[in-house]
Chain A
Amino acid sequence: DIQMTQSPSSLSASVGDRVTIACRAGQSIGNYLNWYQQRPGKAPQLLIFAASSLQTGVPSRFSGSGSGTDFTLTISSLQPEDFASYYCQQSYSNPTFGQGTKLEIK
Chain B
Amino acid sequence: QITLKESGPTLVKPTQTLTLTCTFSGFSLTTSGVGVGWIRQPPGKALEWLALIYWDDDKRYSPSLKSRLTITKDTSKNQVVLTLTNMDPVDTATYYCAHRVKQKLSNHNWLDPWGQGTLVTVSS
Supposing A89-B111, A94-B62 touch, asked if A99 and B49 sit within 8 A by C-beta, the answer is no
Interface membership of A91, Cβ < 8 A: yes
> Number of residue pairs across A and B with beta carbons under 8 Å?
64
Interface membership of B110, Cβ < 8 A: yes
A contacts with B: majority SS: loop
Query: By the criterion CB–CB under 8 Å, are A49 and B49 in contact?
Result: no
Chain B residues with CB below 8 A from A28, complex form: none
Q: For A91, give the chain B residue with the smallest CB separation.
A: B109
Interface membership of A16, Cβ < 8 A: no
Number of interface residues of B (CB under 8 A): 25
Query: By the criterion CB–CB under 8 Å, are A87 and B46 in contact?
Result: yes
Query: By the criterion CB–CB under 8 Å, are B114 and A44 in contact?
Result: yes
User: Which residues of chain A from 67 to 100 have any CB-CB distance to chain B below 8 Å in the complex?
Assistant: 87, 89, 91, 94-100
Chain A residues with CB below 8 A from B103, complex form: 49-50
Interface membership of B112, Cβ < 8 A: yes
> What is the bound-complex CA distance between A53 and B107, given in angstroms?
14
Query: By the criterion CB–CB under 8 Å, are A95 and B37 in contact?
Result: yes
Chain A residues with CB below 8 A from B52, complex form: 94-95
Interface membership of B26, Cβ < 8 A: no
Interface membership of B48, Cβ < 8 A: yes
Closest Cβ of chain B to A93, distance in Å, is 9
Interface membership of B47, Cβ < 8 A: yes
Q: Contact residues of B with A, CB < 8 Å?
A: 37, 39, 46-49, 52, 60, 62-64, 96, 103, 106-117
